[in-house]
């Protein structure tokens, strides 16, 4: 991995040591009326739409750093895009190659990885992790401390309660070479209760409801309520 490029630009402070700095690479593109908070970092290749707010200590466009054994080595886009009016909370990290739509909220200390795509008007709660190659639609609400595993797909208008975990590796770390990860698919309008766990490759149907604490081991039919471990259909 090549060494990080030095920042040629430091904005904020105006020479006053009491004013904390903001670090913006001159190769980043900022729209009109953007706000960059103290100690925030905006890397090269970042494109911020108009009125984007990057709060204290957040990082946008962080270079990808993978372990030697990582299998998630797909091509990383050069650009990191954040749409107009989006707020990136304090301490949040958006990795190079992610795309975030307009009017979103990325909560404090949330993490959005490379090649993730997040639609307009979506909220990612505090401390939640959106792994690489995750696709999230518009107007989705992801509450605090969720983990959305790589390759998961979440359609529009989905609700995901706090502490929900998606998984994507049926072998628990012993995948044969070439076997892909399979994240869950959550269809439009579905709701996932707090603390639920979705196992690799399951589909939660349109407008289905997964109860709090359920462990989803098989597909959930559209419009159905599932509860328990393993999750089973229950009449509403």
Q: Which residues neighbour 171 within 8 Å (Cβ) at sequence distance 6 or greater?
A: 179
Question: Could you write out the DSSP letters of every residue in 164-232?
Answer: -EE---TTSS-PPTTPPP---EE-TT-EE-TT-EE-TT-EEPTT-EEPTT-EE-S-B-TT-EEETTTTE
d(CA 69, CA 100): 28
Q: What kind of architecture, by CATH, is found in domain 141-236?
A: 3 Solenoid (2.160)
The distance of Cα 38 from the centroid of its chain, to the nearest Å, equals: 23
Helix (H, G, I), strand (E, B) or coil at 42: strand
The distance of Cα 122 from the centroid of its chain, to the nearest Å, equals: 10
How many residues are there in the chain?
Answer: 236
**Domain spans in the chain, listed from the N-terminal domain onward:** 1-139, 141-236
* DSSP assignment letter at 79: -
d(CA 212, CA 191): 10
**So what's the pLDDT on residue 10?**
54
CB 112 within 8 A of CB 93: yes
Same fold, 1-139 and 141-236: yes
**So what's the pLDDT on residue 114?**
94
Burial class (CB in 10 A: 0-12, 13-18, 19+), 12: middle
149's tokens = 């595993």
Q: Model's pTM, two decimal places?
A: 0.89
Q: What is the pLDDT along the chain (236 residues), one digit of tens a residue?
A: 344 455 545 555 455 666 789 999 999 999 999 999 999 999 999 999 999 999 999 999 999 876 555 555 556 667 999 999 999 999 999 999 999 999 999 999 999 999 999 999 999 999 999 999 999 999 999 999 999 999 999 999 999 999 999 999 887 777 767 778 899 999 999 999 999 999 999 999 999 999 999 999 999 999 999 999 999 999 76
- Could you tell me the fold of the domain covering 1-139? UDP N-Acetylglucosamine Acyltransferase; domain 1 (2.160.10)
**So what's the pLDDT on residue 75?**
65
């Amino acid at each position: 991995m090549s060494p990080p490029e030095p920042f040629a630009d430091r904005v904020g402070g105006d020479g006053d040591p009491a004013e904390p700095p903001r670090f913006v690479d001159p190769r980043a593109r900022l729209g009109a009326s953007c706000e960059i908070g103290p100690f925030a970092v905006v890397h090269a290749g970042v494109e911020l739409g108009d009125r984007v707010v990057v709060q204290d200590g957040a990082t946008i466009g962080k270079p990808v750093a993978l372990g030697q054994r990582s299998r998630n080595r797909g091509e990383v886009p050069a650009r990191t895009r954040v749409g107009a009016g989006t707020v990136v909370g304090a301490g949040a990290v958006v990795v190079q190659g992610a795309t975030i739509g307009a009017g979103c909220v990325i909560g404090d200390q949330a993490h959005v990885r490379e090649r993730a795509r997040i639609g307009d008007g979506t909220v990612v709660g505090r401390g939640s992790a959106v792994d690489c190659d995750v696709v999230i639609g518009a107007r989705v609400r992801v509450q605090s401390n969720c983990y959305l595993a790589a390759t998961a797909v979440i359609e529009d208008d989905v609700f995901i309660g706090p502490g929900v975990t998606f998984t994507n590796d049926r072998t628990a770390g012993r995948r044969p070479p070439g076997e892909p990860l399979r994240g869950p698919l959550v269809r439009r309008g579905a709701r996932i209760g707090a603390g639920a766990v979705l196992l690799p490759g399951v589909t939660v149907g349109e407008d289905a409801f997964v109860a709090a604490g359920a462990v989803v081991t098989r597909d959930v039919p559209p419009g159905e309520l599932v509860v328990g471990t393993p999750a089973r259909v229950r009449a509403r």
